[in-house]
Structure 1
Amino acid sequence: MSIKDVKINKYRVCIILTAVMIITSVLFIGPEVGVADQGDFDRIMNISGLSLLDKDKNNPDFIRFFKYIVTEYKINPIDNLSKTIKGCSISYLIVPISKVIRMFGENIFKTKYLALIYSCLYTLALIIILKAFNIKNTLNSIIVSTLILLIFFDGNYLVWFNSLYGEPMMIVTLSLFIACVLNYIHCKYAIKNCKNITINIAFIIITAFLFLGSKLQVTISLPIIIALILKIIWDNRLCLSKISLGALCILIYILVLYPIGICNKSDNLCKDTEYNSVFYGVLNGSKTPRQDLIDLGLNPDMSIEAGKHSYLEKTEYEKYIPGAEITNEEFYSKVSNLSLAKFYLTHPIRLFEGMEYTAGKAFNTSTSLGKCSQNYSELPIVEFHRFTIWSDFRDHILPKNLYFIVAVYLIIIIHSIHDYINSKSNLEFKNRILLLWVVMLIGIIQFPMPFVGNGKADTAKQLFLFNFIFDGLLLCMFTYVYLKLKTFYKRKLQRK
């Protein structure tokens, strides 16, 4: 090992220690912080064998939703293992943690245990990504690592780790997926080692499996990820034995079935989003609600519910209550994703207005939900400022408009296509760009989904993954500009 390699390894150790210090200061130093439940946790608790503690159930002053975090849950036997296996992938972490807890004679699941696992996996992804990039220059390594820590270890990302939301599982597993693909690219094209190629591809499929199962909204990314994995297998068709190829095909088959099964079991949630997409989206603020309903192939009488979402009290609806028989007949049986897509394609101005609204809600990873427990403060604490330098900058400085978002994507697409064409036989670089395009496409799909699929309900929260990916694109831009400027000044000095 050269002196240069030793220096780089020392800096990597420093980066890991810095990441640990940031995580500790955000999540594991009192008062304990997290994100309060807004009604999403039940789906996870039901399939993971968790329930509220008896003391909380029997406490008349206990407030579960919106204002305060709940960090302790009772561990119960799994009623239906099939539902757990086919459910959200976060249960794949919760259930083993619960098993370990019970081995020590305890019966209380603490969300900080889950936060610890997230933190370890997230940091592991960082280590693999930095190693796969194999940045030889010490200064470049320090700058890139510092930007990664500043952006992706921001407190408004980490605080979600101490909760049962799917958001942290989503970004952690996407990070691991990216790390595994980069590691595969580095092994195959940089060091040209095909010895563990089957294991490397298997890890890509496993992390993709966990990512696609993290939240319902990411299941739409299945075709993109499958295309990338099939491309990887095709590139290695001469390296893989028949047994290895068969095993990988079985994993891909499971990978395809898993998100499809999640979609099929989410009928109630889909009905809520269908209601929101029309009444709280298409009709919300519309000057022609009756005509809009006709264009959707629906009864124009339902315009009386315009501007309402599916979570109001029943008394607040005029006639078409979510889940009611008349609503099933007149709305749920007739509306579809296809009819919504057709509506927006034939009403491009309405789609553009919806995307402008969505852009106005982008770049915000914080939330107005409570961050501390009821025991710590009776006054709900929603403000959070532990290592939030980047999210504060992004929220207050970056322009929240559609033109800025489109400009960033176009700049990166144009430059990446140019670099891809000019890279000639550099297969390592070309495959990295392909991965960049895959991640960009996942982000692009995530952007219109909140408004088109759920109206104006909870838009900022549903842009969580888009914001995470957009941060990654900004990191790519910062790094690209820095390297170009460095090369420019280096050549300028050489001429002198």
Structure 2
Amino acid sequence: MNRKIKSISLWLWRHLTPQVFAVICVLVITLLALFIPPYIGMADNGDFFRIFSSNGLFVNNANYDNLQFGHFVKEFGIYQYFNENPVAIYSSQSVFIQIALALNKVFWSNTVFDIRFLGGLQVALLLPAIYLLVAGLTAKMKGWPGYLVAALTVFIFADTAYTAYFNSFFSEGLILIMMLYIAAGFILLFQHKYNDYAMLGMIFVASLILITAKQQNAPIAVVIAVCGIIVFFIRKDRAFRISTMAAFLVIFMSGVVMYAFIPGEFVTINQYQTMTRGVLLDSENPEKSLQEMGINEQFALLKGTNFYQKYKMIDLDNELMEKDFYPNYNFVSVLSYYLENPKQLGKMLDLSAQNSFSIRPFEMGNFEKVTGYQFKEKTHFFSAYSDAKAKLAPEKFSFLILWALIFLISYAVSAFKAFRAKDFRGMLLFDLIVLLIGSGFAVILVTIVGDGEADLTKHNFLFNVCFDLTILIGATSLLRAYLKGRGEKHA
């Protein structure tokens, strides 16, 4: 008996690598959260229609409007006839909705779509990302340190504040998964663990899906493309360099295309809230702010309003707005205004920082109404990390600057040494840190300048992913340094 136990233990030790351990843990946690009653998902804040309507789905619940914001709804109707709804937004998420819809029709129903098929598909995409990320982080680690890194990865990225998005039509779940693939790709290139072409291809595909998942992600294309410069130099063979150049050029162009294809309706919505929930929101003299931007002072009455509120002071699509309001400012002029008014910019940045560490929006509940949970009630199953981060993180933008400086300086030292030795592969970890910090700040800047403070928590979702990846990478680096300092062979 003892010999059998030892044999099983030995087999587990050989085959249960840190990455396999992490995948098993994530799988068990997400199965319990998303697919075992009471099911966890995200309530609709009104955005779902934009994506599901053009994908052949409709609301089949007569009480749906009363459930919005408060309760998760898992079933939707499938159009049996011609779908007259045009494409509201162009998003890579539609591809995955269509795959989930096909699976639903094969295994469940031709008339009712269960959103858990979409959730299950995203869990299936998450597991390889976790495997590759942990494989890269724990490369050349032996023994317990690798399992510690794996456990930390599970603790952060299996958090239900993240995974609840899988059971919804929000694109945030897909964004999380693709950023994990991008990070894993850079780390594995740095470690030279797998085939370089395969890792380049993974970064390329994940980047395209990430950027095209949401128009707000268009600027991230610039950040990723710039970080691709170092990847170009890690190998001298012509084929790899041409492949790298082509891949990151297409990534850059995907951002340009996504920006160009932003529907006019959303441009108007974002532009309105940029002014009313941004420029005017914290202005001590809103009339003067409008005057500085060449806009009629009477529009100061719109301060603090949002595009969707039920009772409006003015028809937001009327001739006066179209002629004297919207044409008089844009992204560049708003950014210039903030730069000329640093005190007001500081207030907006601090406001953004207050919402940058909450992964899940305050407004949306996680449970179905039939379970008896209260309206807007949120799950606390396996959410210790997100709960602690939201409570403990400083609510000042200066903390974000400090975070960025600490990581950039820490990894720049080793990158500089690698550069002097002409070891460009050795610079890739610093390159990834630049990518994550650059993407995080790009999200914050684009949100403030492009939509004011409206729905900041959800808009800053990608910042959370980038921040958490730096924390995971930094913790792994500190562990390696600690082990190396003790002269242990685990690192």
TM over 0.5: yes
Within 1, Cα distance between the matches of 2:94 and 2:256?
14
Shift of 1:239: 4.4
Aligned to 1:240: 239
Aligned residue number for residue 107 of structure 1: 111
- Select 1:326's aligned residue among 320, 339, 352: 320
User: Are the aligned partners of 2:22 and 2:153 in contact in 1 as well (CA < 8 Å)?
Assistant: no
* Counterpart AA for 1:138: G
Between 296-305 and 368-377, the greater mean CA deviation after superposition: 368-377
Partner of 1:494: none
Bigger CA drift: 98-107 or 117-126?
A: 98-107
Please name the residue that 2:335 is paired with: 341
CA contact (8 A) 1:160 1:167 kept: yes
Alignment partners' CA distance in 2, 1:219 and 1:303: 31
Q: Distance in 2 between matches of 1:95 and 1:360?
A: 36
* SS across alignment from 1:387: coil
Q: Does 1:383 align with 2:378?
A: yes
- Residue of 37, 49, 53 corresponding to 1:46: 53
Residue 141 of structure 2 aligns with which residue?
A: 136
| C-alpha spacing 1:263/1:174, structure 2 compared with 1 (3 Å) | farther
Q: Which runs of 5+ in 2 are unaligned?
A: 1-9
Instruction: Letter of the 2:407 partner, please give it.
Output: I
Q: Which residue of 2 aligns with 1:166?
A: 171
Question: What secondary structure does 2:352 align onto?
Answer: helix
Instruction: Give CA-to-partner distance per residue, 1:82-136, whole Å, 9 cap, x none.
Output: 959x811111101122123334563322111111111121121111122234142
Paired residue type of 2:32: S
Q: 1:409 to 1:364 in 2, by over 3 A?
A: same
Measured at CA, do residues 433 and 347 of structure 1 come closer, stay the same or move farther in structure 2, by a change above 3 Å?
Answer: same
| Residue pair 1:212, 1:259 contacting (<8 A) in 2 also | no
Alignment of 1:216-365 (within 5 A): 216-229=215-228, 232-233=231-232, 235-236=234-235, 238-240=237-239, 245=242, 249=246, 252-253=249-250, 256-257=253-254, 260-261=257-258, 263-313=260-310, 315-317=311-313, 319=314, 321-365=315-359
Cα deviation digits, residues 465-485 of structure 1 (max 9, x gap)? 111211122223323333333
Separation in structure 2 between the aligned mates of residue 238 and residue 82 of structure 1, nearest angstrom? 47
Query: Residue in 1 aligned with 2:390?
Result: 395
2:74 counterpart of 1:71: yes
Aligned to 2:209: 210
Query: CA 1:4–1:19 in structure 2 vs 1: closer, same or farther (change >3 Å)?
Result: same
Closer, same or farther: CA 208–378 of 1 in aligned 2, 3 Å: closer
Q: TM-score, normalised by structure 2?
A: 0.88
Q: What is the one-letter code of the residue matched to 2:114?
A: K
> Residue type of the partner of 1:419?
S
* Structure 2 residue aligned with 1:95: 98
Query: Relative to 1, partners in 2 of residues 1:402 and 1:8: Cα closer, same or farther, differing over 3 Å?
Result: farther
Residues 50 and 75, structure 1, Cα contact 8 Å, conserved in 2? yes
Structure 2 equivalent of residue 412 of structure 1: 407
How far the C-alpha of 1:139 sits from its partner, in A, is 2.0
Conserved? CA contact 2:52–2:58, under 8 Å: yes
Partners of 1:404 and 1:374 lie apart in 2 by 39
- Within the candidate set 446, 453, 460, 1:449 is matched to 446
- 1:475-494 equivalences under 5 Å are 475-490=472-487
Task: Give, in whole Å, the separation in 2 of the partners of 1:421 and 1:160.
Answer: 39
Is 1:22 aligned to 2:29, yes or no? Answer: yes
How much has 1:11 moved relative to structure 2?
A: 3.7
Aligned partner of residue 74 in structure 1, secondary structure:
strand
Distance between the aligned counterparts of 1:259 and 1:208, measured in 2? 14
Instruction: Answer whether contact 1:205 1:229 (CA < 8 A) is retained.
Output: no
Query: CA–CA distance in 2 between the matches of 1:41 and 1:24?
Result: 24
Given residue 399 of structure 1, which amino acid in structure 2 is its aligned partner? Answer: P
Distance 1:46 1:479 in 2: 43
How many angstroms does 1:75 deviate by? 2.4
Whole-angstrom CA distance in 1 between matches of 2:39 and 2:267? 34
Q: 1:15: how far off? A: 2.3
Looking at structure 1, the residues matched to 416 and 15 of structure 2 have their Cα atoms a distance apart, in angstroms, of: 31
- Superposition deviation, residue 150 in structure 1: 0.6
**Which of 109, 118, 124 in structure 2 is aligned with 1:120?**
124
Over 3 Å counting, the alpha-carbon distance change for 1:435 and 1:352 in structure 2 is: same
C-alpha distance in structure 2 between counterparts of 1:259 and 1:117, whole Å: 29
Aligned pair in 2 of structure 1 residues 60, 431: CA closer, same or farther (>3 Å)? closer
SS in structure 2 of the partner of residue 73 of structure 1: strand
Partners of 2:415 and 2:247 lie apart in 1 by 32
Unaligned runs of 5+ in 1: 492-496
Please give the alpha-carbon distance, in whole angstroms, between the structure 2 residues aligned to 1:284 and 1:81: 35
Q: Deviations over 1:283-332 (max 9, x none)?
A: 1142211110011121111112112111112x431x4x322221111111
* Inter-partner Cα distance in structure 2 for 1:395 and 1:312: 28
Residue 465, structure 1, aligned to residue 462, structure 2: yes
Whole-angstrom CA distance in 2 between matches of 1:427 and 1:250 = 18
Q: Which amino acid aligns with 2:312?
A: E
- 2:146 maps to a residue whose letter is S
Q: Distance in 2 between matches of 1:463 and 1:254?
A: 22
- Tell me which residue corresponds to 1:35: 42
Distance (Å, rounded) in 2 between the aligned partners of 1:150 and 1:48: 34
Q: Distance in 2 between matches of 1:82 and 1:202?
A: 32
Q: SS state of the match for residue 448, structure 1?
A: helix
Q: Any idea what SS the aligned residue of 2:308 has? A: coil
Partners of 1:148 and 1:331 lie apart in 2 by 48
* Structure 2 contact 187–429 (Cα < 8 Å) conserved: yes
For 1:40, give the aligned amino acid: D
Q: CA deviation at 1:21?
A: 1.2
State the distance in 1 between where 2:407 and 2:65 align.
49
Q: Given the alignment, which residue of 417, 421, 425 partners 2:416?
A: 421
Would the alpha carbon gap of residues 31 and 402 (structure 1) be closer, same or farther in structure 2, given more than 3 Å must change?
A: same
Measured in 2, the distance between the counterparts of 1:221 and 1:78 equals 36
1:246-295 alpha-carbon deviations (Å, 9 max, x no partner): 89848954872476246423221121111111112111142211110011
